């Protein structure tokens, strides 16, 4: 390491509010505006639809408690990467960063950018190719995050506030301006058997879990929180609880306005609610809200995930330039540029949909393994502040692991080709890891 590198460290400029906004911003994207109808088509009965969002929230809350304790034990830059490295082996952590870069994050950012481009073009009526709009959005957010962690966090906080405002408007309009839909006997009928309910409920949880995903990325920013051992656990729990309330409320409003049958019949439930409340103006307003929401999710990803690549480079397992911090802004500029460039490449290539097919199984695999890391770290050092310990451990932790790996098994069973390709990408990182180990001085 050069003398200039040793004098520069990540700037600890973020607090509890920033951590909470990062957690919520990593979860809420366009999914909550669309997925209520997907869940409704799987279940039909209003009580089951609301129940699916509550169960999904309970699983997410279990995960938040687990990551909160891990953050207390290892308040280090890289979050999940650091937990896996300390509990198991640097190879395991490297494979997580490898799949994050090549599959989970680059493909995810590209898909979110493409969604933003779709709504932007529709609202602006500009005859622009979607890949160009998506690439410009990614480039702009990359540049903002290179200006410093405060610039990136302020942008993220602003977009998150606007996102919450759009959701609040949806809820208020749905409850106050539209009479409730009449009950439908077909929707309130009981299931013929418990097995039928269980299988439908399991299928409905897939889009629910996908909608709740993303809270763990706030942990990547531990190196830039002023008090990570306090603010990161609190931010995780506050943020996830707030999202559970938001998601359940939005689903209730969609059922209130459209009824279960109407919710099942549409692919754009939020737009239908706003159209019922304010006509075409309402539908256009919620489209603006969805565009802001996707841009906010994009901003959060560009802010948080490059810190994993920075941590990998710090361990000597990635390009040396990626660990360099700008002397003035004190952010990993090359890590941010790398993530932005790869996401743009995926957007231009149009391959993000294929990449996303691999994401669910790989992401759930790492969730479960990270929860296993808690058992390892507890055995090595049992003591932890009681306020940040997982309630009900080990049973709640085992429940979270079982759910995650059940999702992996289901994805591999239902989409064996996609799951196999995802595992191949993961295993391809093994020889790359040993190559970096040999290069490390």
Digit-coded pLDDT (tens) for 65-112: 898 888 888 887 778 898 999 999 999 999 999 998 888 888 888 888
Is 383's pLDDT higher than 70?
A: no
Q: Given this model, what pLDDT does residue 4 score? A: 39
CA distance 164 to 242: 11
pLDDT at residue 6, rounded to an integer: 41
Confidence tier at 422 by pLDDT (50, 70, 90): confident
When mean pLDDT is compared over 163-167, 212-216, 363-367, the highest value belongs to: 163-167
Residue 1 has pLDDT above 80, yes or no: no
Select the more confidently predicted residue: 407 or 220.
220
d(CA 62, CA 98): 26
pLDDT at position 382: 67
Summary mean pLDDT of the chain? 85
Lowest mean per-residue pLDDT among 75-89, 153-167, 178-192, 316-330: 178-192
pLDDT range class, residue 375, cuts 50, 70, 90: very high
- Of the pLDDT bands very low, low, confident and very high (cuts 50, 70, 90), residue 42 is confident
CA angle, 220 then 351 then 131, to 5°: 90
pTM for this one?
0.86
Selection from 215-229, 329-343, 401-415 with the highest mean pLDDT: 329-343
pLDDT at 384: 59
Q: Are 293 and 35 in contact (CB under 8 A)?
A: no
**CATH class, 3-439 region:** mainly alpha
Q: What percent of the chain shows pLDDT beyond 90? A: 32
Model pLDDT, residue 437:
84
- The residue length of the chain stands at 441
Whether pLDDT at 385 is above 70: no
Residue 190 — very low, low, confident or very high, per pLDDT cuts 50/70/90? low
86 secondary structure, DSSP code: H
Distance separating alpha carbons of residues 16 and 231, to the nearest angstrom: 5
Paired tokens of 319 = 């390009």
The region of weakest confidence among 81-90, 176-185, 359-368, 379-388 is 379-388
| Residue 252: predicted pLDDT | 94
pLDDT of residue 187 exceeding 60: no
Least confident range of 30-34, 44-48, 178-182, 296-300 = 178-182
Helices (H), 177-279: 185-188, 194-212, 228-265, 269-278
pLDDT score at 228: 84
Tell me which of 199 and 324 has the higher pLDDT: 324
Q: For residue 67, give both structure tokens.
A: 């990551």
Distances (CA, A) of 367 to 36, 104, 118, 152: 24, 13, 31, 26
* pLDDT score recorded for residue 421: 80
Which residues lie closer than 8 Å to 64 by C-beta, 6 or more apart?
23, 215, 236, 237, 239, 240
Task: Look at residue 35 and give its three-state secondary structure.
Answer: helix
Overall average pLDDT of the 423-434 stretch: 90
pLDDT digit string (tens) for 318-344?
888 888 888 887 888 999 999 999 999
Among 394, 386, 12, 369, smallest CA distance to 216 is for: 369
| Helix locations, 88-148, DSSP H | 90-99, 105-124, 130-146
């Amino acid at each position: 390491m050069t003398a200039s590198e040793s004098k520069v460290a990540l700037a600890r400029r973020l607090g509890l509010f920033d951590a909470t906004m990062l957690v919520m911003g990593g979860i809420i994207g366009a999914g909550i505006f669309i997925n209520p109808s997907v869940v409704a088509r799987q279940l039909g009965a209003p009580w089951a639809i609301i129940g699916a969002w509550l169960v999904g929230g309970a699983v997410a809350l279990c995960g938040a408690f687990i990551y909160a304790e891990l953050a207390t034990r290892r308040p280090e830059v890289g979050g999940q990467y650091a937990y896996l490295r300390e509990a198991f082996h640097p190879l395991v952590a490297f494979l997580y960063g490898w799949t994050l870069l090549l599959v989970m994050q680059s493909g995810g950012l590209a898909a979110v950018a493409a969604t933003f481009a779709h709504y932007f073009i529709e609202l602006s009526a500009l005859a622009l190719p979607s890949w160009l709009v998506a690439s410009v959005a990614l480039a702009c957010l990359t540049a903002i995050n290179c200006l410093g962690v405060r610039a990136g966090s302020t942008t993220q906080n602003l977009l998150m506030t606007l996102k919450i405002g759009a959701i609040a408007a949806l809820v208020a309009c749905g409850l106050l301006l539209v009479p409730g839909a009449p009950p439908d006997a077909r929707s309130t009928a009981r299931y013929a058997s418990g097995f039928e309910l269980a299988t439908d409920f399991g299928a409905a949880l897939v889009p629910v879990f996908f909608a709740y995903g993303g809270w763990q990325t706030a942990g990547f920013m531990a190196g830039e929180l002023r008090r990570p051992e306090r603010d990161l656990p609190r931010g995780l729990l506050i943020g996830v609880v707030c999202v559970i309330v938001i998601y359940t409320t939005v689903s209730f409003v969609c059922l209130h306005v459209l009824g279960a049958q109407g919710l099942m019949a549409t692919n754009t439930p939020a737009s239908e609610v706003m159209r019922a409340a304010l006509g075409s103006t309402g539908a256009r307003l919620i489209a603006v809200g969805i565009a802001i929401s996707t841009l906010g999710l994009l901003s959060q990803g560009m802010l948080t995930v490059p810190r994993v690549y920075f941590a990998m480079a710090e361990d000597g397992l990635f390009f040396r330039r990626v660990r360099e911090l700008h002397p003035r802004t004190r952010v990993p500029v090359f890590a941010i540029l790398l993530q932005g460039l790869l996401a743009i490449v995926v957007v231009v290539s149009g391959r993000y949909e294929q990449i996303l097919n691999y994401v669910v199984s790989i992401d759930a695999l790492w969730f479960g393994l990270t929860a296993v890391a808690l058992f390892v770290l507890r055995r090595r050092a049992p003591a932890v502040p009681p306020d940040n310990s997982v309630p009900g451990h080990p049973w709640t932790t085992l429940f979270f692991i079982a759910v995650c790996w059940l999702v992996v098994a289901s994805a591999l069973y239902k989409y064996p080709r996609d799951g196999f390709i995802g595992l191949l990408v993961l295993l391809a990182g093994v020889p790359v890891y040993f190559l970096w180990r040999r290069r490390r001085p």
